[in-house]
Structure 1
Amino acid sequence: MLDERKEKAITLILSGEAITDVAKLVGVYRSTIYNWLEDEEFKAELDRRRQEIVKQGNALILAELKTYVMELRKMAVKGKSERNRLDALQYLIDRVLGKTTTKVEQIVTEDKDKVNDDILENEFKEVDNE
């Protein structure tokens, strides 16, 4: 069970405070904070709380995901900037189909010794068109 100072230190660390400031606010030496960071119980609680923050953040994003996708789609189709439209469209396509480099790596990995000239030619054309 962590004492009140360690709990406060974890809260401050997770809020982005510098170690020196955490030590001052908790009332310990900076080296004490570093020692706590090596302590298994302290690390476990810090990690548990960090994961909880990530989980809460992901839940908030997931709750609004449809809105975000629809806004991105609207930007891709109706955006005023051609560059922004291109970026949004490319992101949406890459999100579903994967990036071209991923496909090239996959092809190479699947058959290292065999090179299909048609595939290479198509890949070069895609790169030239980007």
Structure 2
Amino acid sequence: MALDERQTKCIELLGEGTLKISEIAKLCGVSRQTIYNWRQEEEFKTTLDRRLSVVKTEANEKINSALPSVVDELLRLALCDDTPTREKVNCLQYICNRVLGSPISSANIEINDKTDTQNTDALAEFNAFIAEQEGKCAENEAE
């Protein structure tokens, strides 16, 4: 059985994630209970899951496209003298966690040769980038 207009509209509104169920119900001309019932139907669940997957993919693409400029700004903040120490530490910690992964208890660490090489390469690349940013920061301070 195909979804009707109200169900399709409901899925779009649920996918946006900005309205409460009661608000969506009102906009779709149904009760809250009807939406809860729809959410139990296989076709509705499948279509909603696909919509949420699209929303998640679009959000990830947007975040990933902005990531280089975000990292540049974090590095600028971390490496310039006028940034408070606490902010520097937070910026550097975030960048390290992003590049190398979040730290875990040393008792739980198992490193194989491949991972160790990847981490070493990533760290070398990160250190080169830090040196480049320090140079840019020094140039900005000289101006």
Q: Do the two structures share a fold, i.e. TM-score over 0.5?
A: yes
Alignment of 1:1-130 (within 5 A): 1-15=2-16, 16-78=18-80, 80-106=83-109
Structure 1 residue 86: deviation in Å? 0.7
| Number of residue equivalences | 108
Instruction: Output the TM-score relative to the length of structure 1.
Output: 0.72
Identity of aligned residues (%): 39
Q: Which has the higher contact order (CA 8 A, sep 6+)?
A: 2
Over 3 Å counting, the alpha-carbon distance change for 1:99 and 1:59 in structure 2 is closer
Q: Any gaps of 5 or more consecutive residues in structure 1?
A: 108-130
Instruction: Output the TM-score relative to the length of structure 2.
Output: 0.66
Structure 1 residue 99: deviation in Å? 4.0
Structure 1, 37-46 or 22-31: larger mean CA deviation: 22-31
Q: Which AA in structure 1 matches 2:24?
A: V
Q: Any gaps of 5 or more consecutive residues in structure 2?
A: 111-143
Structure 1, 46-55 or 16-25: larger mean CA deviation: 16-25
Partner SS, residue 38 of structure 1: coil
Once the two structures are superposed, residues 99-120 of structure 1 have per-residue CA deviations (whole angstroms, 9 ceiling, x without a partner) of 443443226xxxxxxxxxxxxx
CA contact (8 A) 2:15 2:55 kept: no
1:127 corresponds in structure 2 to none
In structure 1, how many angstroms separate the alpha carbons of the residues matched to 2:77 and 2:87? 7
Structure 1 residue 47: deviation in Å? 0.9
